[in-house]
């Protein structure tokens, strides 16, 4: 009897490995293998064709001490992340609070606000290039109705990053739905109890809704931080010749890495850059995880 | 409850938002406080209505600009409604660049990616959800951890790999990885498989079915809604993919719509009417997909937030 059960379990295990095997193969071939290669190559002067000599930490040293564009691109990326992540998070929460109400046309509104989130790619970037065009675009036209002389957006180094952040704000609908789903999961009885205690709408939002959705806020912040650091396509398409905009103001980290890797073929150098990015993202995520218990509220956690 | 074998019923048991059109069961607290609450509701409505004009205006502007003559596009101040509706702009746009070829190429890649993603992720997720084996939890943790790796870290060495395989200027680098699963989809489908009762699988095993058979005959049909979600997300991803084709395709005959549009942008300079017509044509399939299959977009979000 016992023996038979053991072989049953073993048979199950074999099935298990067969089922996850495609992922394991893919992981080794497209993730783990490349990671190992990249790490080693980051200590070489690899250029994909002829040379691959060990140069020690030379790439890293040059990045930190000699390469001013590295710092420019890092600064641009930090700027973008520092503004876009909080703005889109707060925007999505407020929007979902407005959409979590029992008012006429609410289904229509939800569909509508979500729509921009499913649109992406070059079509959207071209659209925003036109909207933000200082002379013929819609944004400055609307601003002029309020007697505001709109900026030159994508042509003014001070306004290029805000331009992209504005474009991101247009599509907060994606995370809005995450929050909405979570808000609808909050038990009605909590609000009823608060109502009896005389808490007003704002207090209910502040002390019931927000704490109950903190797990989703946490998830959203972690993923949009990771995503924000990887901004590339927007800058590539929306600056002329993909060069990173006026005065390198749209030269984001990944765009600079792209140039080093696929235009200059400084592969070793670019891979060193990618590892620095990895470490930054990793450390920020760790900090997030460490801070989480202080503000993230999980149901069933209370004594 | 009675129709437990129905496809959708498994999701509907989960908390949270079902569809965009799902009614809101939450704030029953409106009725009591009379006027003040109604005033708040009114303000809420006005804010949403004003906001939706703001949200829709870029799309209207795209349509409007695409129909204008170049003279009108350049006129100052810009106009919200075109003086004449030049539908011929669309024909001229389509003929100005090999958009037909781009469309065929994009559809080829997209179809293969969708097939690859659906089959591989469903298969893998079944293994993670329904079969006990040693090291499963560690492996699944690695699956999740890969979502944290910035794409460019693997992008460069992957390029080296595919270049050595002579896959540059082929669709292989864009399509082949789709057949080996991806973390997000595995996670999504696993969540869904978890809602299928184990008894169902056990019962099938009692009758002598093996896991391949169970996956094919029970797993796939029961997870249809989640598979639809994965298919739609993959379609969207492949249709909008810019980075992959930009990196791997140099031959103009292989270009996709995204790359084609980028090239078109260079040709047209600031001929915004044609550029907007082109953009709209490329975005249209995604917009249509959204209106027809909203439910599945929403479901993806639900499965995501259910797995906190």
- CB nearest B276 (choices: A16, A130, A270): A130
Q: In the predicted model, what is the mean pLDDT of residues B265-285?
A: 93
Identify the closest residue of chain A to B302 by CA–CA distance.
A181
pLDDT beyond 60 at A282: yes
Peptide bond into B51 cis (omega under 30): no
pLDDT, residue B6, reads: 38
Please tell me whether residues A97 and A240 are part of one structural domain: yes
Examine residue A50 and state whether it is found in any structural domain, yes or no: no
Q: In whole angstroms, what separates CA B109 from the centre of its chain?
A: 15
Q: Number of A to B CB contacts under 8 A, please give it.
A: 304
Mean pLDDT check: name the lowest of A19-23, A48-52, B80-84, B296-300.
B296-300
> What secondary structure, in 3-state letters, does B126-150 show?
HHHHHCCCCCHHHHHHHHHHHCCCC
Interchain proximity A22–B44, CB inside 8 Å: no
**Selection from A85, A93, A124, A126 nearest residue A227 by Cα:** A85
Q: Show Cβ contacts of residue A158 under 8 Å, excluding neighbours closer than 6 positions.
A: A151, A249
Please tell me whether residues B55 and B137 are part of one structural domain: no
User: Do A88 and A175 form a contact (C-beta atoms < 8 A)?
Assistant: yes
CATH of the domain at B165: 1.10.3720.10
pLDDT beyond 70 at A144: yes
Please tell me whether residues A164 and A264 are part of one structural domain: yes
Identify the closest residue of chain B to A261 by CA–CA distance.
B156
Location of structure tokens 């600056």: A239
pLDDT beyond 90 at B7: no
pLDDT digits (tens, 9 = 90+) for B27-43: 444 445 567 778 888 99
pLDDT band, residue A6 (cuts 50/70/90): low
pLDDT, residue A300, reads: 57
Q: What is the ipTM of this complex?
A: 0.90
> Which residues form the domain of A167?
58-295
Q: At what angle do helices A138-145 and B34-67 cross, to 10 degrees?
A: 130
Which residues in chain B are contacts of A133 at CB distance < 8 A? 270, 272
pLDDT beyond 60 at B23: no
Tokens linked to A105: 């046309």
DSSP-based helix, strand, coil % in chain A, nearest 5:
75, 0, 25
pLDDT band, residue B1 (cuts 50/70/90): very low
CATH of the domain at A263: 1.10.3720.10
Examine residue A266 and state whether it is found in any structural domain, yes or no: yes
Examine residue B5 and state whether it is found in any structural domain, yes or no: no
Tell me whether B53 touches chain A (CB under 8 Å): no
Examine residue A133 and state whether it is found in any structural domain, yes or no: yes
Q: Which of the 8 DSSP states describes residue A144?
A: H
Please tell me whether residues B135 and B252 are part of one structural domain: yes
Total of domains in chain B: 2
Q: In the predicted model, what is the mean pLDDT of residues A135-158?
A: 94
pLDDT, residue B305, reads: 61
Percent of chain B with pLDDT over 70: 87
Please tell me whether residues A33 and A70 are part of one structural domain: no
Q: Show Cβ contacts of residue A226 under 8 Å, excluding neighbours closer than 6 positions.
A: A281, A285, B148, B150
Interchain proximity B58–A170, CB inside 8 Å: yes
> Which residues form the domain of B67?
12-91
Which residues in chain A are contacts of B37 at CB distance < 8 A? 201
Q: In whole angstroms, what separates CA B76 from the centre of its chain?
A: 38
pLDDT digits (tens, 9 = 90+) for A189-231: 999 899 898 888 889 999 999 999 999 999 999 999 999 999 9
Q: At what angle do helices A68-99 and B34-67 cross, to 10 degrees?
A: 130
**Selection from A91, A92, A80, A93 nearest residue A225 by Cα:** A80
Q: In the predicted model, what is the mean pLDDT of residues B139-151?
A: 93
Please tell me whether residues A32 and A79 are part of one structural domain: no
User: Do B51 and A116 form a contact (C-beta atoms < 8 A)?
Assistant: no
Q: In the predicted model, what is the mean pLDDT of residues B253-258?
A: 97
Tokens linked to B114: 């969708």
What does the alpha-carbon distance between residue B162 and residue A21 come to, in Å, rounded to a whole number? 21
Please tell me whether residues A177 and A280 are part of one structural domain: yes
- Higher-pLDDT residue of B128 and B14 is B128
Total of domains in chain A: 2
Examine residue B2 and state whether it is found in any structural domain, yes or no: no
What does the alpha-carbon distance between residue B128 and residue B122 come to, in Å, rounded to a whole number? 10
Q: Mean pLDDT, chain B, as a whole number?
A: 87
**Selection from B79, B114, B123 nearest residue B213 by Cα:** B123
Mean pLDDT check: name the lowest of A98-102, B9-13, B218-222, B223-227.
B9-13
pLDDT digits (tens, 9 = 90+) for B48-104: 999 999 999 999 999 999 999 999 999 888 999 999 999 999 999 999 999 999 999
Helices of type H across chain A = 2-26, 33-41, 58-65, 68-99, 106-118, 122-131, 138-145, 160-170, 173-184, 188-196, 201-204, 210-228, 233-238, 253-258, 267-295
Please tell me whether residues A71 and A210 are part of one structural domain: yes
User: Do B104 and B255 form a contact (C-beta atoms < 8 A)?
Assistant: no
């Amino acid at each position: 009897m016992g023996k038979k059960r053991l072989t049953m379990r073993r048979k199950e295990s074999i099935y298990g490995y067969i089922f996850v095997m495609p992922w394991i193969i893919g992981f080794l071939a497209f993730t783990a293998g490349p990671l190992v290669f990249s790490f080693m190559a980051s200590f070489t002067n690899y250029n994909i064709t002829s040379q691959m000599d060990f140069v020690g930490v030379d790439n890293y040293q040059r990045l930190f001490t000699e390469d001013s564009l590295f710092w420019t691109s890092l600064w641009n990326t930090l700027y973008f992340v520092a503004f876009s992540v909080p703005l889109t998070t707060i925007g999505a929460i407020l929007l979902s609070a407005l959409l979590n109400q029992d008012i006429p046309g609410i289904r229509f509104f939800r569909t509508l606000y979500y729509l921009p989130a499913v649109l992406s790619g070059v079509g959207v970037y071209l659209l925003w290039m036109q909207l933000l065009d200082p002379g013929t675009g819609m944004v400055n036209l609307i601003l002029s109705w309020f007697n505001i002389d709109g900026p030159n957006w994508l042509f003014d180094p001070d306004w290029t990053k805000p331009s992209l952040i504005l474009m991101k704000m247009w599509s907060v609908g994606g995370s809005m739905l995450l929050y909405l789903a979570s808000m609808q999961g909050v038990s009605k009885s909590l609000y009823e109890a608060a109502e009896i205690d005389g808490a007003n709408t704002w207090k209910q939002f502040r002390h019931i809704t927000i704490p109950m959705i903190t797990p989703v806020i946490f998830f959203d912040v972690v993923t949009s931080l990771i995503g924000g650091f990887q901004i590339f396509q927007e800058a590539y398409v929306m600056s002329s010749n993909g060069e990173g905009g006026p005065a390198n103001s749209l030269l984001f980290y990944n765009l600079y890495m792209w140039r080093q890797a696929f235009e200059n073929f400084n592969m070793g150098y670019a891979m060193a850059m990618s590892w620095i990015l990895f470490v930054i993202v990793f450390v920020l995520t760790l900090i997030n995880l460490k801070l989480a218990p202080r503000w993230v509220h999980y149901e069933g956690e209370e004594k | 409850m009675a129709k437990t074998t129905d496809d959708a019923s498994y999701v509907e048991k989960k908390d949270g938002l079902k569809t965009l059109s799902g009614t809101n069961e939450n704030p029953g607290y409106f009725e009591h406080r009379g006027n003040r609450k109604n005033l708040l509701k009114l303000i809420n409505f006005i804010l949403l209505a004003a906001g939706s004009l703001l949200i829709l205006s870029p799309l209207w502007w795209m349509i409007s600009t695409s129909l204008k003559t170049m003279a009108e596009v350049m006129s100052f101040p810009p106009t919200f409604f075109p003086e004449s509706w030049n539908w011929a702009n669309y024909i001229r746009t389509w003929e100005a660049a090999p958009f037909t070829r781009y469309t065929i190429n994009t559809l080829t890649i997209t179809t293969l990616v969708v097939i690859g993603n659906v089959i591989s992720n469903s298969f893998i997720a079944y293994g993670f959800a329904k079969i006990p084996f040693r090291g499963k939890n560690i492996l699944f943790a690695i699956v999740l951890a890969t979502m944290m790796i910035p794409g460019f870290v693997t992008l460069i060495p992957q390029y080296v790999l595919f270049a050595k395989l002579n896959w540059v200027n082929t669709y292989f680098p864009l399509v082949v990885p789709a057949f080996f699963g991806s973390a997000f989809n595995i996670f999504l489908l696993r969540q869904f498989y978890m809602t299928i009762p184990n008894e169902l699988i056990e019962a099938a095993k009692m009758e002598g079915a093996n896991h391949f058979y169970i996956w094919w005959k029970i797993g796939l049909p029961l997870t249809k809604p989640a598979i639809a979600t994965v298919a739609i997300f993959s379609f969207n991803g492949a249709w909008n993919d810019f980075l992959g084709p930009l990196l791997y395709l140099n031959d103009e005959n292989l270009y996709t719509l995204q790359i084609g549009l980028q090239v078109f942008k260079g040709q047209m300079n600031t001929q915004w009417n044609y550029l907007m017509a082109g953009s709209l044509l490329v975005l249209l399939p995604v917009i249509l997909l959204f209106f027809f299959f909203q439910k599945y977009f929403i479901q993806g979000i639900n499965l995501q937030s259910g797995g906190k």
